[in-house]
Amino acid sequence: MSYKKFGQNDVIVNTMRAHPNCEFFIYDSKVYYNAKPEQSGAFSSQTLNVPAGHISLYEYNIDRAAGTNPLIYPFVYKNGDKISFKTVSEAQWSRLYSYGDQITSSYPLSASITREFLSGGAGGTTTITPTDRAHLAYQSPNFPHFYALKNKLNFYGIMSEHFKVSSSYGDKNTQEVNLISVPTIFYGSEIKPGSMNLKWYLTGTLVGELKDEKQNGELIQVGPVGSVGSGSVAGVVMYKEGFVLLTGSWGLCEPISLRSGSADVSGSWIYFGAGALDGVRQQAGIVSSSYSSASFDLSFKGTSDTQILTMFAHANKGEVNYSNNPTFIQYGQTKVRHTSSLIYEENPSQLIYNTVSSSFLGYDADYENQVYVSRVAIYDENRNLLGVATLSNPVLKKEDQDLTFKIKLDI
């Protein structure tokens, strides 16, 4: 086997950017992810052991339940490395465990979208006065998630005034805000700008649709044509952080039960996604049963970058014309001419098997130097085998041909 060194232009690295579709459908306090139905198992009510609309990290505990088919769980031993699980606080680590003790955690770990309805003004605060320490009183935000996003919202104000916490379009501190959080595991490095799409259905009929037509994060109502609020900005989307903030409060449909413990309210964008892990659910006897007539669709494209190593392995004419395969030599020949305690000599006159195909019956085509290439092996500079690329079908290589094999490796 001969080695051939890659030239300067034979190895390139590039990045493939993919935009996988991601869709959440919210109906009757349940979230469905990419139209995956609920699937019950023999032991567990959900095969993946996570609620509908969630994804399960590792997807380990398939149809398991405590008792008859117990769950897989992780653990570490307490030692000087100070390794632990996020669910174990530093104080617990110090006090509850001795060195050598097992620190356990649990699977499955899951993620899904969550909705928070920031009522009575998103920027509201409450005065906290420590007991007997009145002079240490401080303001605590009622909605810390919104509070944490204020800086970023103002930063994105250069893209649109609608992002700003306080602008001519209103003051989010005093507005009711619908905050939808999308975990990063669903979208990768960022949500593809312009791909966010929100649809509001009432008894299956579209009553409102938001799109980021300008690709600047503004969610503009684009449908149905001529609907109330059409063309208005109902909120903003933070593509890198995975948050949607909706402030549009114009009525999209008749009053409907979309707030926990409250009277029916006119359907508007601030109630979009009601039931998405926000505690809102059908409340028989308290509000009307119209809750289950609303359904919501939130879709976007994620972004994932994959680095690809592309290698061009050249088999030039006059090269790669021999095989070490034993069947390369014609069968039945004497392989060793002399062998003794002093000499070992192979037969130099062994014939190579003629693999040239003849078009005629009973006629052997003339011999030509040719091989069938089935694999390309990649070695490092120390000739350690790093990988083998196998062709789906062997490729015929004649002596007067140049061939180039393109090998791609996702890294």
Partner 1 sequence: MAVTSFETLNASNIATTKTLLHESIPLTGTIVSGTYSDNNIKNYTHGQFQSVYDYPYLSSSANHIFDITIGYDESSSLSGSANVTQNAKKINMYNQFSQVLLGFTGSANNVRKFELDLLLDEVGVMNESIFLNFSRLITKDQIKKGTFSITLGTGSWSGPFANTKTLTDVSASDTRGTANTFGGDYGELYSTDNVVRGIVFYQAGIAILSTSSFDGVTDFYSASAGTSSIAQTFVSSSITASCDALRHRLQNITFNNTTEINSSIYFCRVPHNKYNHSANPTYVSSSTIRVKSVNTDTPVAYITTVGLYSADNQLMAMAKLSEPLKKDPTNEITLRVRLDY
Choose between 36 and 408: whose C-beta lies nearer to partner 1.
Answer: 36
Among 13, 74, 96, 347, binds partner 1 (CB under 8 A): 74
108 contacts partner 1 (rule: CB under 8 A): no
Among 62, 159, 222, 407, binds partner 1 (CB under 8 A): 62
CB 366 within 8 A of CB 357: no
Among 6, 77, 344, 367, binds partner 1 (CB under 8 A): 77
CB 386 within 8 A of CB 379: yes
Cα-based angle 336, 337, 339 (whole degrees, multiple of 5) = 75
User: For 91, which DSSP code?
Assistant: H
Choose between 13 and 228: whose C-beta lies nearer to partner 1.
Answer: 13
- Residue 88 CB, nearest distance to partner 1 (Å)? 14
At 100, which amino acid appears?
G
Span interacting with partner 1, options 10-18, 69-77, 241-249, 324-332, rule CB under 8 A: 69-77
Encoded tokens for 174: 């005093």
70 contacts partner 1 (rule: CB under 8 A): yes
- Residue 241 CB, nearest distance to partner 1 (Å)? 15
Q: How far apart are CA 351 and CA 330, in angstroms?
A: 6
* H or E element, residue 147: helix 144-155
Q: How far apart are CA 28 and CA 311, in angstroms?
A: 52
Q: Which residues pair with 408 in a beta bridge?
A: 310
Beta strand 403-410 pairing with 304-315: antiparallel
Among 63, 176, 190, 241, binds partner 1 (CB under 8 A): 63
CB 262 within 8 A of CB 284: no
Choose between 74 and 251: whose C-beta lies nearer to partner 1.
Answer: 74
Long-range CB pairs of 228-233, under 8 A, 24+ apart, other chains included: 228/252, 233/160, 233/162, 233/169
- Residue 72 CB, nearest distance to partner 1 (Å)? 6
The footprint of partner 1 on residues 38-57 (CB under 8 A) is 39, 41-43, 47-48
Choose between 77 and 322: whose C-beta lies nearer to partner 1.
Answer: 77
- Residue 64 CB, nearest distance to partner 1 (Å)? 8
349 contacts partner 1 (rule: CB under 8 A): no
Choose between 36 and 214: whose C-beta lies nearer to partner 1.
Answer: 36
Choose between 42 and 136: whose C-beta lies nearer to partner 1.
Answer: 42
- Sequence-distant (6+) residues with CB within 8 A of 360 are none
411 contacts partner 1 (rule: CB under 8 A): no
Residues found near partner 1 in the complex (CB under 8 A): 39, 41-43, 47-48, 59-60, 62-63, 68-70, 72-77, 81, 83
